[in-house]
Amino acid sequence: MANPFVHIELQTRDLAKAKDFYSRLFDWKLEDVPVSGAGMPYTMINVGEGTGGGMFTNPDPSIPPHWLAYVGVDDIRASTARARDLGATVLQDVMQIGDFGWLSVIRDPTGAVIAMWQPKMAA
């Protein structure tokens, strides 16, 4: 399948409470990982089979807690530009995330928000 969902991310105001709730509700295995330059903890979600994700505390109090889906792309810059050309609003332009890869976040022409992800390929 072209451009599958590759990551689902929870942005929350209370990471400890979210970790407790979701690990007990779904038996998810959670692992805190360092992300260089992020200045905050990031928790990876291992769901076993299927698409995993992550969660973190969003420092912006004006943004309500929410889940964000990421779609895998081969060329993050081209995909972000194409989204803009097709009428999307770029909310977060291409940004590198440590040594993991790059993301961008768009609002589609209907108002829905989705993210794109290009992993850094191992040399």
* Mean pLDDT computed over 116-123: 83
**Which domain, by its residues, includes 88?**
5-119
Contact yes or no for 45/54 (Cβ under 8 A) = yes
As for how many domains the chain has, the answer is: 1
CA–CA distance, 95 with 59 (Å, rounded to integer): 18
Range 95-99 contact pairs with CB under 8 angstroms and sequence separation of 24 or more: 97/35, 97/38, 98/35, 98/36, 98/37, 98/38, 99/36
Mean pLDDT over 102-107 rounds to 97
- CATH (domain of 92): 3.10.180.10
In the beta sheet, which residues pair with residue 33? 42
pLDDT, tens digit (0-9, with 9 covering 90-100), for 18-73? 999 999 999 999 999 887 666 778 999 999 888 999 999 988 889 999 999 999 99
pTM (whole model) above 0.85: yes
